[in-house]
Amino acid sequence: MGELVMEVARGLRRRYAATLEPWGVTPHESRALRVIGRHEPTRLGLVAQHLRIAPRSVTDVVDNLEQRGFVAREPDPTDRRATQVRLTGEGRRILDELDAARRADHESYFADLTERDRTTLTRVLNSLIDDH
């Protein structure tokens, strides 16, 4: 059963990467945009924690997003040594488009399941998440 769950997860990750291609955004960049959008303004360390990646790696991801005009860095008003990051207007627009594309892809992926099967699958997956 674990292998089946892993195969579904791999398939969803492949589809997700393909869904992002029209925007030229990687899965890491998309996830970073979501974290920043949810917690803005935020420090890079918090973004790294949410993405479960090293702070240096998140710096590279945010550098790429900043170069493309999706995020902006600004001084942290509570700590002159620290920097915060927030979405730009373009970053918010891209994030909204990416989220809509992701939802549409998930709908397509699970379209063959009945409503009852979707409800059961959601309940079982939430149970596994809650228990582990």
End-to-end alpha carbon distance in the chain = 16
Give dist(CA 34, CA 41) in Å, integer. Answer: 12
CB atoms within 10 A of CB 128: 10
Torsion of CA 28, 29, 35, 37, to 10 degrees: -170
pTM of the model: 0.86
Give 15's pLDDT tier (boundaries 50, 70, 90).
very high
Rounded average pLDDT over 4-26? 95
Angle at 73 between CA 67 and CA 76, to 5 degrees: 170
pLDDT band at 80; cut points 50, 70, 90 = confident
pLDDT at 39: 96
pLDDT of residue 2: 87
| Per-domain residue ranges of the chain | 25-113
Model confidence at 132: pLDDT above 80: no
* The pLDDT value given to residue 126: 92
The C-alpha atoms of residue 110 and residue 128 are separated, in whole angstroms, by 19
**What would the two tokens of residue 122 be?**
């959601």
pLDDT (average), residues 19-30: 95
Domain spanning 25-113: CATH 1.10.10.10:
yes
